[in-house]
Amino acid sequence: QVQLVESGGGLVQTGGSLRLSCAASGRTFSRDDMGWFRQAPGKEREFVASINWTGGRITLRNSVKGRFTISRDNAKNTVYLQMNSLKPEDTAVYYCNAPLVSSSPGDYWGQGTQVTVSS
């Protein structure tokens, strides 16, 4: 059974930082793109970031460029999202996904982790 398990969400003030982790089990994604999506209340789920299997190609949505970074550890089958300079509009449930094709989600989703940024 394939599972993606996110961790690291929480409540933070504007300008603060959080680091999300997503650990995969049940199959390896070491040759696949992995990424993050988010969904705010009343809004559709949206793409946030993706990383290819080597880590050499990273894609970020425009609104998080310069603030968020994505990385991965293939030996641990884990992808990370470092979020700095957080803003209230970053408040959402963040979901890990794999294997992405371009910025389109693949078959596997994590359960989501809540990120709340207070003003």
> Cα separation of 68 and 7, whole Å?
16
Mean pLDDT computed over 1-14: 97
- CA distance to 5, 13, 14, 30, 64, per residue, from 103 (Å): 20, 29, 27, 17, 15
**Which residue type is seen at 92?**
A
* pLDDT at residue number 102: 83
> Cα separation of 119 and 115, whole Å?
13
Model pLDDT for residues 47-105, shown as the tens digit of each residue: 999 999 999 999 999 999 999 999 999 999 999 999 999 999 999 999 999 999 988 99
Model pLDDT for residues 25-45, shown as the tens digit of each residue: 999 999 999 999 999 999 999
* pLDDT at residue number 70: 98
| Cross-strand pairs, 59 | 50
R_g of the chain computed on alpha carbons? 13
- CA distance to 66, 69, 76, 97, 119, per residue, from 105 (Å): 23, 18, 21, 6, 31
